[in-house]
Amino acid sequence: MAKKKVLAAEGADIQEAVVIEKPESRFKAMWDTLKKNKAALFGLFVIIILVIIAIIGPYITPYNPNKQIMNDAFQGPSANHWFGTDNLGRDIFSRIIVGTRVSLFVGVAAVAFSLLIGTVLGSIAGYFGGKIDAVIMRIMDIMLSIPSILLAITLMAALGKGIDKAIIAIGVVSIPEYARIIRSSILSTKENDYVAAAKVLGNSDGRIIFHHIIPNVVSSIVVRATLGISTAILDTAALGFLGLGVQPPTAEWGDMLGRVRSMVLVHPYMLIFPGLAITLAVLAFNLFGDGLRDALDPKSRS
């Protein structure tokens, strides 16, 4: 739950940053560009639907997603079970609906987690420079040199199963990316006159970083974070597929795929639907993220 709060606070920060600190026209300009990008709008549409499903999903499922009705196992898609039933007689449609919440929550929370830590580390490194910069960024380099999914698997193996642990594992592996983006943005921003002015006025370092610099680098973070959610959803699915994600019987898309992978030739529907769900969610965040980048990039704006 603590993670959720962090997420909300972070989201609010970004919102505030975009709406209040920026001139009104820039947000509108961005939206105008985004509106013209059909693919991005489709992505946004799917994301909104997914969020709605994630919120109300558990109350609208036709069956209890964890209820095993053994006699109904291995049924293909039908009017009763839209996506069929799995090998233990559980309704796949209901499990996918409930799984939406897990995937989105882990995706968003993991990004929020790495964004928060990455921002703090990147800011410190970029603003202060020197030895602090070298130490932090070399640690980030070391983390980047380990394949991210391998690092996540190792972390999961050490921490054990569970949604909260998956968030940490997936969050930790993408900290370096955010730290790098923030650091480079800060390096270029901190030379501006208004930063010097803020210093002269006697603002503390923390205030300068978070009130004067960060708001000006927010656009690059927003784009990266949106794309990061799709990566996080994929990583969640990968961990689930390897049987490291959630504690059974929790429904999770990757986990649903992994446990029936030996049946792909015999009961393909068991893999198709969770696979489609993952693809759709990842595609939506990618399309929207790409659109957002184009909209926020002055060069590509028409």
Q: Which residues bind other proteins (CB under 8 A)?
A: 66-68, 70-71, 73-74, 87-89, 160-161, 243, 247-249, 259, 262-263, 265-267
* Minimum CB–partner distance for residue 90 and other proteins (Å): 8
Inter-CA distances, 244 with 96, 152, 300, Å: 18, 10, 41
* Minimum CB–partner distance for residue 263 and other proteins (Å): 5
Q: Tell me the C-alpha distance between 49 and 231, whole Å.
A: 19
Task: Indicate the residue among 72 and 133 with the shorter CB distance to other proteins.
Answer: 72
* Minimum CB–partner distance for residue 241 and other proteins (Å): 13
Task: Indicate the residue among 13 and 290 with the shorter CB distance to other proteins.
Answer: 290
3-state secondary structure of 82: coil
Q: Tell me the C-alpha distance between 272 and 213, whole Å.
A: 46
User: For 208-268, where are the alpha helices, taking DSSP H only?
Assistant: 214-241, 253-259
Task: Indicate the residue among 206 and 268 with the shorter CB distance to other proteins.
Answer: 268
Task: Indicate the residue among 212 and 224 with the shorter CB distance to other proteins.
Answer: 224
* Minimum CB–partner distance for residue 88 and other proteins (Å): 5
- The tokens describing 270, both together, are 């068991």
Q: Tell me the C-alpha distance between 190 and 201, whole Å.
A: 15
3-state secondary structure of 94: helix
**Neighbouring residues of 189: CB distance < 8 A, sequence distance ≥ 6:** 195, 213, 216, 217
* Minimum CB–partner distance for residue 246 and other proteins (Å): 11
Task: Indicate the residue among 183 and 267 with the shorter CB distance to other proteins.
Answer: 267
